[in-house]
Amino acid sequence: MNTMLILTILIVIGALAFDFINGFHDTANAIATSVSTKALKPRHAIILAAVMNFLGAISFTGVAKTITSDIVDPFSLHNGSIVILAALIAAIAWNLITWYFGIPSSSSHAIIGAIAGAAIAAEGFGILKWSGFGKILEALIISPILAFGLGFIVYSIFKVIFKGANLPKTNQRFRLVQIGTAALQSYTHGTNDAQKAMGIITMALIANKYVSSTEIPLWVQIACATAMGLGTSIGGWKIIKTVGGQIMKIRPVNGVAADLTSAAIIFGATYIHLPVSTTHVIASSILGVGTSHRVKGVKWGTAQRMIITWVITLPISATIAGLVFFLLDLIF
């Protein structure tokens, strides 16, 4: 078995592991509000999220194509296998570290930063496709801002519509609505997040000349969707606790407003083929809803800790990936 084939197999395994970890790392965000309000029992929420994540993952490929070709050109990438493997190792390491400490960091920031860092270590800053890379960074930065603003607006509208409503009855009705919004949010999560691993595998297949197009092979779609679905089935209770309870005390009406907001932002990004951080979007929508509900009710200390993690994720994952690349380059 030649070295190229071995590296390709390792990349496929690593990408599926990344998707699996993404499943239990990021899916916690998608179901956190419905679990915290007791709209769904944790086991039921995870089963629902696993199914909807799988369906979302096999529905679209636009984001995967962006990952494949907009950060670096896979057709001209030297040492492509080592670059991609280093990126995967770095992103997985950072995801596991933040998961262990219950910090809702961004898998999107981790993998995009890691790809850039490994590529720069291999061939210098000139290897980056700055127009495409810049577009991705803009999406990662703008999407949580939009989520915060839209969450504020949606909940403000809810306050007007349901002013004077019977609170217990309204909450009970919104718990039922939350089942649907949790399903919708999990579906949109699958449409965006699972595609990142699809793009990575396809990039490796192009770099090693196993395929000659940026079209995502069907087996890659199914494998990544399955990995994310299985990862989802494990869950991420530490992150559910942070997102569902340590940003604000979430009631069913808050949860529905946040779910609708984040689902709209994530699916909008998927529609225009841009990767975004579901973690950023969901947490920011909750912050927007919380600010509209009662500014003092938002636990800004938790929000500050999350924002710091978001800011440092990209440079840290890029640095780790660069170091891992140098190590792998010595081995292979």
Alpha-carbon span 38 to 311, nearest angstrom: 32
Structural contact between residues 195 and 57, judged by C-beta atoms closer than 8 angstroms: yes
| Entry field: residues in the chain | 332
Segment 283-300 mean pLDDT: 84
Mean pLDDT for the stretch of residues 102-117: 85
Q: Where are the domains of the chain?
A: 3-331
CB 181 within 8 A of CB 263: yes
Q: Is the dihedral of CA 326, 327, 330, 331 positive or negative?
A: negative
- List pLDDT tens digits, range 25-67: 666 667 777 777 778 887 788 888 888 989 998 998 999 999 9
Q: How confident is the model at residue 244 (pLDDT cuts 50, 70, 90)?
A: very low
Average pLDDT on 302-313 reads 79
How many other C-beta atoms lie within 10 A of the C-beta of residue 93? 17
Q: DSSP strand E in the chain: where?
A: none
| 3-class secondary-structure state, position 274 | coil
Predicted confidence band of residue 76 (pLDDT cuts 50, 70, 90): confident
Local confidence band at 240 (pLDDT 50, 70, 90 cut-offs)? low
pTM score: 0.86
Got the DSSP string for 162-194?
A: TTT--HHHHHHHHHHHHHHHHHHHHHHHHHHHH
Give the integer Cα–Cα distance in Å for 300 and 287: 9
Q: How far is CA 68 from CA 80, 195, 200, in A?
A: 12, 10, 6
Angle between helices 300-331 and 80-100 in degrees, nearest 10: 150
Tell me the one-letter amino acid at 4.
M
Percent of the chain, pLDDT > 70?
92
What is residue 53's predicted lDDT score, i.e. its pLDDT? 86
Give the three-class secondary structure for 40: coil
- On whether the CB atoms of residues 277 and 107 are closer than 8 A, the answer is yes
Task: Tell me the C-alpha to C-alpha distance, in Å, between residue 265 and each of 138, 142, 307.
Answer: 14, 10, 19
Name the pLDDT band for 295 (thresholds 50, 70, 90): confident
**Residue 219: Cβ within 10 Å count:** 10
The alpha carbons of the chain give a radius of gyration, in whole angstroms, of 20
As to burial, measured by CB atoms within 10 angstroms (0-12 exposed, 13-18 middle, 19+ buried), residue 149 is middle
Mean pLDDT value across residues 18-25: 80
- At 185, give phi and psi (nearest 5°): -65, -40
- Report yes or no: 193 and 228 within 8 Å, Cβ to Cβ: yes
**Which residue from 200, 243, 176, 206 is spatially nearest to 71, judged by alpha carbons?**
200
Q: Which residue has the higher pLDDT, 305 or 108?
A: 108
Residue 163 has φ and ψ, to the nearest 5°, of -60, 130
The token pair that represents 30 in the structure block: 């998608």
Secondary structure in 3-state letters for 67-122: HHHCCECCCCCCCHHHHHHHHHHHHHHHHHHHHHCCCCCCHHHHHHHHHHHHHHHH
